[in-house]
Chain A
Amino acid sequence: MVQFVEAIPHLLLRIFAPVLGVCLVAWLIVLFIPFVRKQVRPVFSVSEGRGGRFPPVQWVVLFLVMVACTLFSGKNTNGVQNVGGGHLFQFSPPLVQIVSPQDVSNGWRVAEESGAEIFALPPAGAVTNENWRLRGAHDDAFRIPADGWSYPYTSGITVLSRGELRASIHSHDFPRPFDQDLSIVPYVNWPQLPEGRRESVFWYDATPSNTLLTTWWNAALGRDATNPVNFQAELFPDGGFTYRYEDRTVRHARRDPTPTAPTRNGTTPYAPTCWRRSQQVATLTGKGRAPARPLNSRGARTSTPTPTTLLTL
């Protein structure tokens, strides 16, 4: 309901802006082009001749044309649409997520560091990929078996050091979290990271609620030492997933008023169909889908389309 109320201004703008635009253009044409004005005047003066009580057929047709233009304006047919500068993503089973650049710049930036427990160091019991910490990784992968957590369609998740998750190395089940690759910085190069962000690791943990937390901690976005980010993905037993972003380098972003009830580790609760913000992190939720038929061992490529990149930093 809240989402519907929030969407009303957008709907109004979407309906009336094109109507006003078409009316303005038509009026200018009639006003400034003598030939058109000469042709149109007798048509629209019919009603005046008959007393002006009822709109003539021409007015009704013009109105219907404008309504039609309004309804069909801006629609794409490829399943990915632009709405308010954001992107609509269609997953299977059908579920739509919206992330706009405005959301990114205003919503998920961290207003303050306090309370950002979600991106604290790995909790007790978490498993750190020691090899990635020791020698670094950009284009590497390993598989986490479903032990202590569960996710439909698969008995494990393949984690790519560049920031992706896949049910299978051959399928793109989850959207890419960034438009650039992440990489884990080996400890010998931690001094090149900004002060205070000199521990670059990947860790994962199975939670008591049977979910899987995977976290890229101080990972280099775009393989750039000056651009470390924290990113976390959580997979839920019902097939949902949540992406969480944190950026402590921006300290003056606005505080989002949307309250969220914290759960374990202070994380934002899972919201199956909406895009929710908190004061500390931004989350993106969605539903995974059954993995595509994997490649055979000799190279037949799956035709599963790659989901479009979501966020641009």
Chain B
Amino acid sequence: MKRNLFVSLAAMGIAGGLALSAWALPPVHPVLPPVAYIDTETVTNVPVAAWQEHAGKFKFSLTCRTTATNNVQFAFGRDADDDGILSLEESDLVVGWDCGKWFLQGGYDAERIETAVGTGDGQTLAWTVRLSPRTAMPVSVTATVDGTPAFGGVDVGIFYSKNWNMFRLTGRGLADSAESPVVQILPDSLTILMR
């Protein structure tokens, strides 16, 4: 009886440890607040903890309703003034769907890179950035829209920075909360400690 209890607790401990190590940075699930203004813009800012230096991969996916009259975009950056808001100026990378096209911008000043891959009014943009284990700098990226490769040839350096500490999700032209996008961000790392 005691042995079964010990084995169970050990198994739970190992499973929990593995889960914690893989999800050391909590996944981000931002939810847009209801539209309150006539311009239909609704925004939520999500502070995130410091990134893991040893994270091997950085995964991002955005699933949203994709119509010719809506916009869902996600910005990555550092909240330099600590006001809890990731302003336009603080955004290093903006990615999302805008009235018929997926786009990618290395900041609001940068040229917008657009792609028209994918069909249907519900699509998923996803990418996985492989990071250097020593410098945590992006080494390569694989981006897809509904499984179709996208944004090929883009400088991989814009896809990740360990200095980012704030995300911002923006929705425009969304009819109701049922269109709320789903965002998943996951640093993919696994640490096993042996004694």
Residues of A within 8 A of B (CB): 130-131, 134-143, 158, 160, 168-170, 183-186, 188-189, 192-193, 220, 223-225, 294-295, 297-301
A139 touches B40 (CB 8 A): no
Q: Are A301 and B81 CB-contacts (below 8 A) given A131-B98, A136-B172, A168-B109?
A: yes
Q: Which residue of A lies closest to B92 (CB)?
A: A297
CA distance A301 to B78 in the complex (A): 11
CA distance A89 to B71 in the complex (A): 38
A183 touches B89 (CB 8 A): no
B99 touches A131 (CB 8 A): yes
Q: Which residues of A are found within 8 Å of B78, using beta-carbon distances?
A: 298-299
**How many residue pairs between the two chains, A and B, have CB atoms under 8 Å in the bound complex?**
101
Q: Are A186 and B173 CB-contacts (below 8 A) given A136-B39, A223-B37, A299-B90?
A: yes
A-B contact pairs, 10 of them (CB 8 A): A134-B68, A136-B41, A137-B41, A138-B39, A143-B111, A170-B89, A183-B37, A223-B37, A299-B163, A301-B81
A130 touches B99 (CB 8 A): yes
Please pick, from A138, A188, A224, A300, the residue contacting B80 in the complex, using a CB distance under 8 A. A300
Please pick, from B40, B80, B90, B161, the residue contacting A135 in the complex, using a CB distance under 8 A. B40
B88 touches A141 (CB 8 A): yes
- Contacts beyond the supplied A185-B39, A223-B38: 7 A-B pairs with Cβ under 8 Å: A136-B172, A143-B111, A158-B109, A168-B109, A183-B38, A223-B39, A299-B90
A169 touches B39 (CB 8 A): no
Q: How far is the CB of B55 from chain A (nearest CB, A)?
A: 18
Q: Which residue of B lies closest to A302 (CB)?
A: B89
Q: Contact flags (1/0) for B55-99 with A, using CB distance below 8 Å?
A: 000000000000011110000011011000000111010000011
Please provide the 3 A-B residue pairs with the shortest distance between their CB atoms, ordered closest to farther. A135-B173, A183-B39, A299-B78
B107 at the interface (CB under 8 A from A): yes
Most buried by B among A137, A189, A297: A297
Q: Contact flags (1/0) for B148-165 with A, using CB distance below 8 Å?
A: 000000000000010100
A138 touches B37 (CB 8 A): yes
Q: How far is the CB of A142 from chain B (nearest CB, A)?
A: 8
Q: Which residues of A are found within 8 Å of B161, using beta-carbon distances?
A: 297-298
CA distance A90 to B170 in the complex (A): 36
For chain B residues 15-40, which have a beta carbon within 8 Å of chain A?
37-40
B169 at the interface (CB under 8 A from A): no
B43 touches A139 (CB 8 A): yes
B69 touches A189 (CB 8 A): no
B51 at the interface (CB under 8 A from A): no
Q: Which residue of A lies closest to B101 (CB)?
A: A131
B98 touches A186 (CB 8 A): no
Q: Are A298 and B71 CB-contacts (below 8 A) given A134-B99, A138-B41, A170-B89?
A: no
B38 touches A224 (CB 8 A): yes
Q: Which residues of B are found within 8 Å of A141, using beta-carbon distances?
A: 88, 108
Q: Which residues of A are found within 8 Å of B37, using beta-carbon distances?
A: 138, 183, 220, 223
CA distance A168 to B78 in the complex (A): 18
Q: Which residues of B are found within 8 Å of A193, using beta-carbon distances?
A: 38
Q: How far is the CB of A292 from chain B (nearest CB, A)?
A: 11
Q: How far is the CB of B155 from chain A (nearest CB, A)?
A: 11
Please pick, from A158, A224, A300, the residue contacting B108 in the complex, using a CB distance under 8 A. A158
Q: Which residues of A are found within 8 Å of B163, using beta-carbon distances?
A: 298-299
Q: Which residues of A are found within 8 Å of B173, using beta-carbon distances?
A: 134-136, 186, 188
B172 touches A137 (CB 8 A): yes
Q: Which residues of B are found within 8 Å of A136, using beta-carbon distances?
A: 38-41, 172-173
A139 touches B38 (CB 8 A): no
CA distance A134 to B67 in the complex (A): 11
A137 touches B39 (CB 8 A): yes
Q: How far is the CB of B193 from chain A (nearest CB, A)?
A: 32
CA distance A224 to B112 in the complex (A): 30
B69 touches A134 (CB 8 A): yes
For chain B residues 78-137, which have a beta carbon within 8 Å of chain A?
78, 80-81, 88-90, 92, 98-99, 106-109, 111-112
CA distance A298 to B53 in the complex (A): 17
CA distance A139 to B106 in the complex (A): 17
CA distance A269 to B107 in the complex (A): 36
Q: Which residue of B lies closest to A295 (CB)?
A: B89
Q: Which residues of A are found within 8 Å of B39, using beta-carbon distances?
A: 136-138, 183-186, 189, 220, 223
B92 touches A139 (CB 8 A): no
